[in-house]
């Protein structure tokens, strides 16, 4: 005689706790910006462009410059202003000037 898989005579009671609602996160997608121009469809003017970069010295570069000057390294105090690691890179749309993001090393 084979055992049969009969369903139980009464259905199992379903757990009555509420199902968790799927959470919807609104994430503003910012492009991952790097030190070089990148390809993007501008969210502002919908142009298919490469970002225009503007390089500027980050505040930490000026701080290091000042510190080097204070400790007496007068001739090398300006070096941080020319180092890539202290450069801040801003990315803009070349068509409409929309700001995409800032790259900080």
Select the span of 25-33, 36-44, 57-65, 76-84 touching Zn ion (CB under 5 A): 36-44
Q: Taking the complex as a whole, how short is the minimal distance between the CB of residue 93 and Zn ion, in angstroms?
A: 3
In 3D, which of 39, 49, 37 has the Cα closest to residue 96?
49
Select the span of 23-31, 55-63, 73-81, 92-100 touching Zn ion (CB under 5 A): 92-100
Q: Is 98 in the site for Zn ion (CB under 5 A)?
A: yes
Residue 101 near residue 31 (C-beta atoms within 8 A)? yes
Q: Which secondary-structure segment (H or E) carries 65?
A: helix 59-70
Residues belonging to the chain: 105
Q: Which residues bind Zn ion (CB under 5 A)?
A: 42, 44-45, 93, 95-96, 98
């Amino acid at each position: 005689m084979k055992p049969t898989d009969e369903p139980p005579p009464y259905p199992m009671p379903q757990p009555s706790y509420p199902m968790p609602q799927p959470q919807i996160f609104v994430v503003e997608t910012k492009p991952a910006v790097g030190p070089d121009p990148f390809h993007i469809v501008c969210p502002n003017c919908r142009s298919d462009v490469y970002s225009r970069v503007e390089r500027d010295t980050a505040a930490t570069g000026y701080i290091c410059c000042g510190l080097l000057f204070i400790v007496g390294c007068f001739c090398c105090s300006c070096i941080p202003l020319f180092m890539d690691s202290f450069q801040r890179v801003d990315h803009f749309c070349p068509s409409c000037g929309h700001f995409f993001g800032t790259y900080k090393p």
